[in-house]
Amino acid sequence: MINTLVESIRDDALTLRMVPVDEIFSRFPRMVREVSKQLNKAIQLEIKGGDTEIDKSMVEKLTDPLMHIVRNAVDHGLESAERRRAPASRNRARSR
């Protein structure tokens, strides 16, 4: 009985630390808009899975690295608007 109670309290405590990853993802659209303007790249950002939950301490650790990855994807992984106007390209890049 005491083991069950302890497990229940532990599980509840862990649940309290869980937050949606949207806390990280919510910062991406503005950053992508700003970088895309600077680089003259038209980008449609699609974010999925924002309701997935992770430990709050992981959010703090993942925010900066993920921002860097997204910024690099925009800067180095997507073509400029001029290049995308080539006959075989879409007019707007898509980042998922």
pTM above the 0.95 mark? no
SS3 90: coil
User: Which of the four pLDDT bands, split at 50, 70 and 90, describes residue 43?
Assistant: confident
pLDDT of residue 71: 92
- In this model, does residue 1 exceed pLDDT 90? no
pLDDT tens sequence across 12-42: 888 888 999 998 899 899 999 999 899 888 8
Per 3-state DSSP, the chain is made up of helix, strand and coil in percentages (nearest 5) of 60, 10, 30
pLDDT tens sequence across 53-92: 999 888 889 999 999 999 998 888 877 767 767 666 666 6
